[in-house]
Structure 1
Amino acid sequence: MFRKIDDRTYASPQITVADVAEAKALGIAVIINNRPEDESDDQTPGAAIEAAAREAGIAYHAIPVTHAGFAAWQVEAMRKALDQAGDQPVLAYCRSGTRSTLLWALAEAAAGRNPSRIAAGAAGAGYDITPVRAQVDMLAAQAG
């Protein structure tokens, strides 16, 4: 269920409270929820995931992303959450894992990471960053 996109980052479709225990077993230090609340009837509420994460000693951040796209504040918030984790593993989730992966790609580019490596990491986990590749290239160039 959790797909590894780089040395410390996993993306996942919607998780449940029970999945938090699996995240803990993997050593996940931070869970990032990229799903807006009430996006669908079958999603576990963010508050339930947050409570389970905190109980397990895992930091939790909600950075909701709608299908409208990505804003600068979301990229910055994702970057801060990734930085908070240091070298410890991070799990980001949304409905399918795609928005989480795309936001991760933008945040990594904003930190000056190599766009080709970002794309390769996402592809290795089964995600395609083509929808944001131009922005990834631009952010990486600006971070230079």
Structure 2
Amino acid sequence: MEIRKIDDTISVAPQISVDDVAEAARLGFKTLVANRPDQEEFGQPPMSDIEAAAREVGLDWVYMPVESGNITDQDVDRFAPMIRDAEKPVLAFCRSGTRCTVLWALSAARETSAQEIFTKARNAGYDISGLAPRMAQQASEK
């Protein structure tokens, strides 16, 4: 499992396996967020199996599938309160971790400077500089 820490409240990861869930709990994560639709790719573990494993080890489970390359404002509107209210720290996953990072960045833009968001994402291995216009739009909706 490749975990990339964004900050003390959220980390992201590429697709996790059922076996990774217990390790996430052991590492101290409290909430597991799936931003990947079920059956997006052949061989992907069923989300119901990951959910069952999460519940078995006491993790809160949030299934919030988002289409890759098509994150809408409505997706951000759902993600923002979820991440704000989730028990921390959160581990969010999708195919590569990028989708989760973009969702976090767009929701964080409502309260955090773009430069701080870009830095945190870059430190986690994600270049989200192309999001600047959308982040500015989100910031205007504070």
- Give the superposition deviation at 1:129: 1.2
- Give the superposition deviation at 1:19: 0.8
1:142 aligns with 2:135: no
- SS of the aligned residue for 2:61 comes to strand
Task: Name the counterpart of 2:62.
Answer: 61
Residue type of the partner of 1:57? G
- Give the superposition deviation at 1:68: 4.4
Change (3 A) 1:126 1:68: closer
TM-score normalized by structure 2? 0.92
Distance 1:133 1:4 in 2: 21
- SS of the aligned residue for 1:64 comes to coil
- Give the superposition deviation at 1:74: 1.3
Distance 1:107 1:36 in 2: 20
Distance 1:50 1:109 in 2: 29
Name the stretch that deviates more: 92-101 or 55-64: 55-64
Distance 2:135 2:11 in 1: 19
Task: Name the counterpart of 1:50.
Answer: 51
How big is each residue's C-alpha offset from its partner over 1:75-134, in whole Å with a ceiling of 9 and x where there is no partner? Answer: 122112212225x20011100001111111011113x11111111111001011123221
Task: Name the counterpart of 1:133.
Answer: 132
Residue type of the partner of 2:29? I
Task: Name the counterpart of 1:72.
Answer: 73
1:103 aligns with 2:89: no
Q: How many residues align?
A: 141
Name the stretch that deviates more: 129-138 or 27-36: 129-138
Distance 2:41 2:33 in 1: 18
Task: Name the counterpart of 1:22.
Answer: 23
- Give the superposition deviation at 1:140: 1.8
Name the stretch that deviates more: 75-84 or 114-123: 75-84
Residue type of the partner of 2:30? A
Residue type of the partner of 1:135? R
- SS of the aligned residue for 1:127 comes to coil
- SS of the aligned residue for 1:28 comes to coil
Task: Name the counterpart of 2:86.
Answer: 85
Identical aligned pairs, as a percentage? 41
- SS of the aligned residue for 1:69 comes to coil
1:40 aligns with 2:44: no
Distance 1:131 1:67 in 2: 15
Name the stretch that deviates more: 73-82 or 14-23: 73-82
- Give the superposition deviation at 1:67: 2.8
Distance 1:81 1:142 in 2: 17
Residue type of the partner of 1:126? G
